[in-house]
Structure 1
Amino acid sequence: MDIRILVPQDAEIYRKLRLEALRTHPEAYGSSAEEEGAMPSEAFEQRLAGGDALTFGAWENGELIGITTLVRESSMKMRHRCNIYAVYVSSAHRGKGIARLLMNAVIEQARAYEGTEQIYLTVVSANEPAKRLYQSLGFRTYGTDLRALKIGNTYVDEEMMVLQLQ
């Protein structure tokens, strides 16, 4: 198992796994497979170009099997915060601790940024396995975003969680 930051050359394989995530779990993400599927390859290359957003990938035998993104806030007043987005592990590889490895990698990266004090994420309120993972890593729920997403005529609530580093 190898966890590393994805680079623009990983864009096509990343795009494939990202679209799988959006198709199989539309309730878990603010984007849709339709929206991102229509995006050009260059958009995914740009997404992986670094800066304040780093996407981590879990690789097994040359196959990308898990992803997540860490975004460091850029404004002076919010530079003490990071956000984790879009955690996903392909269904064939779940239950093996891969999401925990990805989360540990992004938390370690956030800690490496000078001045980071807290890390935020949101999770679908009904996603108990993900909530248990995040809680085991020290994240605590500080609120609920009711009707955060609307998919057709169905609403999805999200829990807002934070990990205090200091």
Structure 2
Amino acid sequence: MIVWRVGPEQAATWRDLRLEALRLAPEVFDSTHADWSARPLADFEARLIVAPTFVAGDTPDHMLATASWMADLDPHDARRAWLISVYCRPAGRGRGHAQAAIAAVMTDAQAKGMRSIGLNVVRGNAHAFALYARLGFRDTGRTGVTNAHGTPEIEMMRDLDGA
């Protein structure tokens, strides 16, 4: 397995993975396949610039898992990163690809000065919740969190000190 940061030069390959995620798991993303499928490649390139994105795969031309992060989403903590857009293709599930992409995100966020990282996971997505728990994320207990579709979510956090 290899893990790398995806740059704009790989936007076409990453676009395929992103659109697959939005098509096969629409309930877990705020964006929709309809929102992104007609967009030009330049929009995917721009997304890769503003949201550091890491992928894991068996070869550089076959991305199996992706994870991104963003800063400046928490008005109360400028040094909290947010894990976003996590997806793993069925061929990579249970093989550590998603975990590796998320670990790369956490390492990068910490290197950029982030002290903690948060995420939201759809309530009832037991596999994703278990993965995040194994990676040290804990349920914050915050109530009333929903995604753009109104689906209840669980907010999870983890410190990055010593990640």
CA distance in 2, matches of 1:30, 1:99: 19
1:160 pairs, out of 132, 135, 155, with: 155
User: 1:80 matched to which residue of 2?
Assistant: 79
> How does the TM-score come out when normalised to structure 1?
0.87
Report if aligned partners of 1:125, 1:157 keep a CA contact under 8 Å in 2: yes
**Within 2, Cα distance between the matches of 1:128 and 1:76?**
29
> What are the superposed Cα offsets for residues 82-138 of structure 1, whole Å, 9 maximum, x if unpaired?
011010011122111111111111111122122x22101111111111111111111
Quote the residue 1:57 is aligned against: 55
2:15 matched residue in structure 1: 15
Conserved? CA contact 2:74–2:80, under 8 Å: no
* Unpaired segments ≥5 residues, structure 2: none
Q: Which amino acid in the other structure matches residue 165 of structure 1? A: L
- 1:149, distance to aligned residue in structure 2 (A): 3.8
Q: Distance in 2 between matches of 1:46 and 1:165?
A: 27
CA distance in 2, matches of 1:99, 1:111: 18
SS at match of 2:56: strand
- For the Cα contact (< 8 Å) 1:5–1:55, is it kept in 2? yes
**Paired residues, what number?**
159
Instruction: Determine whether 1:108 maps to 2:102.
Output: no
Q: Could you tell me how far apart the structure 1 residues matched to 2:133 and 2:33 are?
A: 28
AA at the equivalent of 1:3 = V
Q: State how far apart, in whole Å, the 2-side matches of 1:88 and 1:75 are.
A: 23
Q: Distance in 2 between matches of 1:119 and 1:75?
A: 10
Quick check: 1:27–1:149 contact (8 Å CA) kept in 2? no
**Percent identical:** 33
Structure 1 residue 77, shift from structure 2 partner: 6.2
Q: Please, which runs of 5 or more residues in structure 1 have no aligned partner? A: none
- Which amino acid is the alignment partner of residue 58 of structure 2? E
Partner of 2:116 in structure 1?
Answer: 118
TM-score (norm 2): 0.89
Q: Which letter maps to 1:44?
A: F
CA contact (8 A) 1:124 1:156 kept: yes
